[in-house]
Amino acid sequence: MATATDFRWLTDSEQRSWRAWLESMLLLQERLEQEMKAAHGLSMAEYEVMVRLSEAPGRRLRMSDLAGRTLSSKSRLSHQVTRMEQDGLVRREECLEDRRGAWAVLTEEGWRRLVEAAPSHVTSVRHWLVDAMPPTEFAQLGATCTKVVDRLRDSEVAPNPVE
């Protein structure tokens, strides 16, 4: 059995970097959420669903595909889509190819709200993140995040060195 001394603790420098990344991610998410709600009455989850649908052919995706693209559980996405249907932003359509599946479709109202919200969202992302560093550092941030995403997606089980 592994013990607490059988693994590598974070160095002071690594700990500072980890905490800075964690704090920046949480603060950025919170700020973008606040700004989106204040300016457009949308949550970031709603905005993300509409973005993903807007990028799909016919502005529609199977619910299971949409869950994967938004990193949501199928249950959480189903509740989200139900709320968005009530607001007229999306609608569900029966999937004729697979009766168990359903399509989420961006409505014209959803498209209008997305088009209205996108410029201020992009302005916020640029202000709070992109312009906080030189272009080369932002490109490096993107490359680094891609490595982390790839590593997480390629791994099925998290390591558990201490039991």
Does the global pTM surpass 0.85?
A: yes
3 falls within a domain: no
Asked if 115 and 107 count as a contact pair (C-beta separation under 8 A), the reply is no
Say whether pLDDT at 6 is over 80: no
Domain that holds residue 65: 12-153
161 falls within a domain: no
86 falls within a domain: yes
6 falls within a domain: no
The mean pLDDT value for 72-92 works out to 96
What band does 158 get if pLDDT is binned at 50, 70 and 90?
A: low
pLDDT recorded at residue 96: 77
160 falls within a domain: no
1 falls within a domain: no
CA distance 53 to 162: 42
39 falls within a domain: yes
pLDDT recorded at residue 5: 65
Average per-residue pLDDT in the chain?
92
Number of domains comprising the chain? 1
Tell me the two tokens of residue 106.
Answer: 């961006």
Kindly report, residue by residue over 126-137, the tens digit of the pLDDT: 999 999 999 999
The mean pLDDT value for 89-110 works out to 89
The mean pLDDT value for 148-157 works out to 87
Q: What is the CATH number of the domain that holds 49?
A: 1.10.10.10
32 falls within a domain: yes
Kindly report, residue by residue over 54-73, the tens digit of the pLDDT: 999 999 999 999 999 999 99
CA angle (40 as vertex; 109, 103 as ends), nearest 5: 40
Asked if 108 and 116 count as a contact pair (C-beta separation under 8 A), the reply is no
Say whether pLDDT at 19 is over 70: yes
